[in-house]
Structure 1
Amino acid sequence: MLPVELILLLLSPVFLCCVILEWRFAVLRRQNWYHWRDTLANATLALLHQGADMLALLLLMPFFYWLHQYRLFTIELTAVNLLLAFILQDFLYYWFHRGSHHIRWFWASHVAHHSSRLMNFSTAFRQSLTYPISGMWLFWLPMILIGYEPTLVFAVVAVNLAFQFFVHTQAIGRLGWLEYLFNTPSHHRVHHACNDIYLDRNFGGVLIIWDRLFGTFVPEQADEPCRYGITDDFNSTNPLTITFYEWQRMWREARQTGRQHSLWQILVKMPAKLKYNPAAKTPE
């Protein structure tokens, strides 16, 4: 088993406990944070995503090691180099995440994660099995070319993604000075919101400093509650519908045009974001 799957597998009991505790907390507070169909869809999508990722890594790992032979440096495994690997990977994740909101080819996979109108720990599981097709792995190639060993790179990716599980919650408020440095539940609630002022903001994985540096940071506003989901009137708990929603839209548009320029725009240019529709309902 590859390190990325092993790390997430070892942490899965912790994730499950957090989901149960948050659900119980929501019940006691009479908060409508969980719907069983939505949670079941999230769990199913997580299994499909992990299976697709495992298969993709098995198929692509020979390519990553072939590429590694052309590395610029030979990097020893030291505490300093490991810290630099975490920072570099988080920096690259920021650009992957930002690109996934502005380039339609990447959004076609990422939209699955944003498609729920709920926000809870299980939302972190809501991932697409098409990430290997859209090319999430392309963003980690600079680390391999610099000199980081491929297995280490994907272990760092796994730790980054594991951290992000804990920011998918409404149960935790602001965290003082940590808000200036790290991605927190407050920052990530903004990221999942489809309010006009929150759209396409706070892309950081572990660190929020990239958003502050590159002008994509917006704090959570007390007078502007987050409304979750995408701006389309999308409301499904079918894992296949969730996974292929944007891919189907792109395919339909592509079939309607024979011009290469238009096809390129379909694959790359994002459709105009709609205003939030308050009439759209959360799943029962």
Structure 2
Amino acid sequence: MSFTAELSQLMAAVLGREPTLNEMILIPMVPLFVAGYLVEWSSFRLNSGGWGTAQGKPFYLREVIANFSLGTAYYASSAIMNILYVAAVFAFVWEHRIHTIPISFGTVILAFFVQEFCYYCYHRTSHRVRWFWTQHVSHHSGEIMNMSTAARQSILNGIVGTWIFYAPAVFIGFNPDLILGLLGANLAFQWFVHTESVGKLHHWIEWWINTPSNHRVHHGRNSAYIDKNYGGVIMLYDHLFGTYQIEHEKVRYGIRQQIKSHNFLVLNVHEFIDMLRDVAAPGRFNERLKHIWKPPEWTRADHNPIHTWPVKGEHPSAQKPKDTF
């Protein structure tokens, strides 16, 4: 029996079902993720002589614990959502596909660029549509940057429907295991770009690839960095759609309305609850509903945005409001 078959059999015994290719890639990578983090932390400690125990340091302990807590819950919730309905959704779409694209070297390359486009659309929408921002905000609310920051994921992914961005690729004929497997590889790659330990690389590499420098920009709340660099592995679509930005000033991490909490549950649901409370607040019904699909910073007249938990807001001059995708 091959190693892949043995791994699949072992994971099936643990999950109680056959693992998806996405899970076959991401779950076995966890030890490598942790190893990468430990190497990064050890390098920082040797060079600085400290643990990074003060807030704002790259390895602030409370935030690292919150990061790994969010990551663990994300894995568990994703498995549950797959069992409940996500796997069935992709099976349904595949059953009703308009074509069958055979798997070959050439179509795998094509599928990579299709998946990257789907990811770009998801990622950009999750910043510009509040419904999807409610699940992505936990990833951006971290105020430090190290590999554990990549673990800041949400238990709301399946609930808000992030899968919808990849269903079209399956509908046109790409095998769902292939698309979701490539997505798993995409996410695994991104673990290693969440770091301050790697500076800028050659400009040609920076132009094409999602490097640590490019991704630090994406996590910045600096005015020039907001809503930039959405690419997963490559920066092609950022160049095509005008969202590419080089790192040219020190990055300030976090979000414009910074949640001041390290509580696992608060980090997962604060934006979702605030959105629902904004919708429920008095006002014209059609205006209230706009809180769902407008950008996160959008506000309506005669309504003060609701924050269930304390936040620290940016000065208005640091914001760059816009209503379009």
The TM-score range, normalised by the shorter chain, is over 0.9
Higher relative contact order (CA 8 A, sep 6+): 1
Q: Which residue of 2 aligns with 1:10?
A: 28
Counterpart residue identity of residue 148, structure 1: F
Q: Which runs of 5+ in 2 are unaligned?
A: 1-18, 299-312, 317-325
- Aligned-partner Cα distance in 2 for 1:149–1:195: 40
Contact 1:109–1:134 at 8 Å: present in 2 too?
Answer: yes
Residue by residue over 1:233-253, the C-alpha shift from the partner in whole angstroms, topping out at 9 and shown as x without a partner, is 322211111011101211221
TM-score w.r.t. structure 2 length? 0.81
Tell me whether 1:268 sits opposite 2:293 in the alignment: yes
- Aligned-partner Cα distance in 2 for 1:70–1:234: 43
- Aligned-partner Cα distance in 1 for 2:89–2:229: 32
- Aligned-partner Cα distance in 1 for 2:265–2:161: 20
Q: Secondary structure of 1:55's match?
A: helix
Contact 1:196–1:276 at 8 Å: present in 2 too?
Answer: no
Q: Which residue of 2 aligns with 1:281?
A: none
Q: Which residue of 2 aligns with 1:196?
A: 223
Tell me whether 1:161 sits opposite 2:161 in the alignment: no
Q: 61, 86, 90: which is aligned to 1:64?
A: 90
Contact 2:133–2:296 at 8 Å: present in 1 too?
Answer: no
Q: 258, 261, 265: which is aligned to 1:233?
A: 258
Counterpart residue identity of residue 201, structure 1: K
Counterpart residue identity of residue 82, structure 1: V
Q: Secondary structure of 1:5's match?
A: helix
Q: 164, 167, 185: which is aligned to 1:141?
A: 167
- Please report how far the alpha carbon of residue 55 of structure 1 lies from its aligned counterpart in structure 2 after TM superposition: 1.7
Q: 80, 84, 89: which is aligned to 2:110?
A: 84
Q: Secondary structure of 2:182's match?
A: helix
Q: 275, 282, 305: which is aligned to 1:250?
A: 275
* Counterparts in 2 of 1:33 and 1:183: CA distance versus 1, 3 Å: same
Greater Cα shift, 122-131 or 51-60: 51-60
Greater Cα shift, 241-250 or 267-276: 267-276
Q: Secondary structure of 2:226's match?
A: coil
Residue by residue over 1:71-124, the C-alpha shift from the partner in whole angstroms, topping out at 9 and shown as x without a partner, is 222111111111111111001111110111110000011000000100000000
Q: Which residue of 2 aligns with 1:20?
A: 38
- Please report how far the alpha carbon of residue 228 of structure 1 lies from its aligned counterpart in structure 2 after TM superposition: 0.3
- Please report how far the alpha carbon of residue 272 of structure 1 lies from its aligned counterpart in structure 2 after TM superposition: 2.9
Q: 58, 62, 70: which is aligned to 1:37?
A: 62
- Aligned-partner Cα distance in 2 for 1:88–1:257: 43
Q: Secondary structure of 1:195's match?
A: coil
Contact 2:280–2:288 at 8 Å: present in 1 too?
Answer: no
Bigger radius of gyration among the two? 2
Q: Which residue of 1 aligns with 2:121?
A: 95
Residue by residue over 1:152-206, the C-alpha shift from the partner in whole angstroms, topping out at 9 and shown as x without a partner, is 2211111111111111000011121211111110000000000011111111111
Contact 2:170–2:176 at 8 Å: present in 1 too?
Answer: yes
- Please report how far the alpha carbon of residue 271 of structure 1 lies from its aligned counterpart in structure 2 after TM superposition: 4.0
Q: Which residue of 1 aligns with 2:323?
A: none
Q: Please show how residues 212-227 of structure 1 align to structure 2 within 5 Å.
A: 212-221=239-248, 224-227=249-252
Across the aligned residues of Structure 1 and Structure 2, the Cα RMSD in angstroms comes to: 1.6
- Please report how far the alpha carbon of residue 262 of structure 1 lies from its aligned counterpart in structure 2 after TM superposition: 2.1
Q: Which runs of 5+ in 1 are unaligned?
A: 278-284
- Aligned-partner Cα distance in 1 for 2:115–2:176: 12
Counterpart residue identity of residue 180, structure 2: F
- Please report how far the alpha carbon of residue 148 of structure 1 lies from its aligned counterpart in structure 2 after TM superposition: 1.4
Q: Secondary structure of 1:233's match?
A: strand
